[in-house]
Chain A
Amino acid sequence: MFQQAIAVENDFGLVKEFIQGDSERAASAFVRRYKSFVYSTAFRHLKSHDDADDASQEVFIRAFKNLATFKGESSIQTWLYRITLNVCANMRRKKRFTSFFSFDNDEEEIEIADSAGISPHNSTETNDFMEHFNKMLNTLPEKQREAFALRYFHEMSYEEISVMLGTSIGGLKANYFHAVKKLGELLKNSELLTGQRHGYTK
């Protein structure tokens, strides 16, 4: 609770610093603080690292442009989440429009984009596992997937997630439980959990 309060204070401090001084330091700190949250959200919705990267950049640029109008009625994370969903929806629409006039296979493009994003340097065991886990996560219905990611990875409260997703807390808890149950089944059958992660330390 105390840590959360400090984080919120820091967040608003950064926003204030950015608005007042338009400082590069505040902007950079703001991006660093939320980049994983924005990128992972975009990736869950776009299912491509290249698109998620583009979307994340766009989200932060929009956020910087509108930080002065941010009233603080919701948390910055909730605000960024909404911007991310809007940007992803726009990108999907644009992609559908361009693919309508294109003869290329979309699935193939996504695979190429994904493999191109992994450099030899980061092609580690963790990387393989997370790639695999993200694929499993993407098999879940959207509400379950979002409930799981926001609760499990981003450690957000049910109250905050329910505002983000527009669902009741009861429905959210049910979604979270079903997501955990389904992912548990998938992980149990997963090859990556049957010995490949031996020796991995947390």
Chain B
Amino acid sequence: MDIQNKDKADFRRRMEEMLADYAFDRLPMSEKEEFEQNLSEFPDIQLELLEVQKVFSRVYRADFDEYFDRRTRNLSVHVLQRFETKAHLRRVLSKLIPALSIVAAFVAFAIFHKPSSIEDANSPMAMVTQSDADYLASAASNDDEIAAILNDIAPMLTPETIPALSIDAINSIDMLSAVSTPFNESLLEDQLLSVFSDSDLNNILGESDDDSSL
């Protein structure tokens, strides 16, 4: 290769780039020949090469391998253990997640969905049945029972539920108020008045004889 025709600086850079690989015998044959042919042109690179070869003759790749082999002696065991632990955890989670989802669905259902007994209690048809009415009528002679019954039915009496009361239920409430003592009479009155105006209440109780339902 004719150096005269080349940019000296570029060629020098090329020689420098080849130096390390030449020193460590890793240069392809064609480049090795090129380097050897032109080395005499660069005395400083020649010196550099000798220095590198001398100093690095003690840095063995085998040392590097031995050093890191020793450091990583148990690495495969640790990796496999950790990988197995993670895989086991994934397997457990894959089984646990559906179960937890079902539990969460139940919890959510319990929180956001009113129990059917409460729904039934608020539904007009289920509020006071015929048997309730009979029971109210039969219990009307006992003050304590009347008080308990009134306590039970008082929260159910709302503008939405009253119109659906059966005639027997209205009669029973009417009868309760007729036979009640001052204690339960005032309780019933308070509850009914909290829901209805005075005139509405009179209408309900007055019309109950004529209508089958309100």
Contacts and interface: CB of A to CB of B under 8 A. Distances in A.
B149 to A, nearest CB: 66
A64 to B, nearest CB: 6
B67 A39 contact: no
Majority secondary structure, B binding face: helix
A95 interface: no
Interface string B80-118: 101100100000000000000000000000000000000
B64 A153 contact: yes
A188 B48 CA distance: 12
Interface stretch (B13-21, B152-160, B170-178): B13-21
A127 interface: yes
A4 interface: no
A152 B24 CA distance: 8
Given A24-B80, A184-B52, A39 B68 contact: yes
A188 B79 contact: no
B10 to A, nearest CB: 11
Interface string B1-19: 0000000000001001101
Point out which of B23, B52, B58, B71 has the most chain A C-beta atoms below 10 A from its C-beta.
B71
Interface string B46-70: 0010011001101111111111111
Given A170-B17, A177-B16, 6 more contacts: A28-B80, A36-B65, A39-B68, A56-B79, A153-B64, A181-B52
Contacts of B68: 35-36, 39-40
B56 A35 contact: no
A180 B70 contact: no
A130 B75 contact: no
A129 to B, nearest CB: 6
B55 A36 contact: no
A27 interface: yes
A163 to B, nearest CB: 18
Interface string A159-179: 000000000001001101100
Nearest to A49: B71
Nearest to B60: A202
Interface of B: 13, 16-17, 19-20, 23-24, 26, 48, 51-52, 55-56, 58-72, 75-76, 78-80, 82-83, 86
A40 B67 CA distance: 10
Interface in A184-202: 184, 187-188, 193, 197, 202
B67 A57 contact: no
Contacts of A174: 13, 16-17
Shortest Cβ-Cβ A-B pairs, 7 listed: A173-B17, A31-B76, A130-B67, A36-B68, A35-B72, A180-B20, A60-B79
Nearest to A148: B20
Interface in A92-145: 117, 122, 126-127, 129-130, 133
B75 A31 contact: yes
Contact of A57 (B26, B64, B70, B75): B75
Point out which of A32, A174, A177 has the most chain B C-beta atoms below 10 A from its C-beta.
A177
A176 B20 contact: yes
Contacts of A188: 51, 55
Interface string A48-60: 0100110011001
Interface in A3-48: 24, 27-28, 31-32, 35-36, 39-40, 43
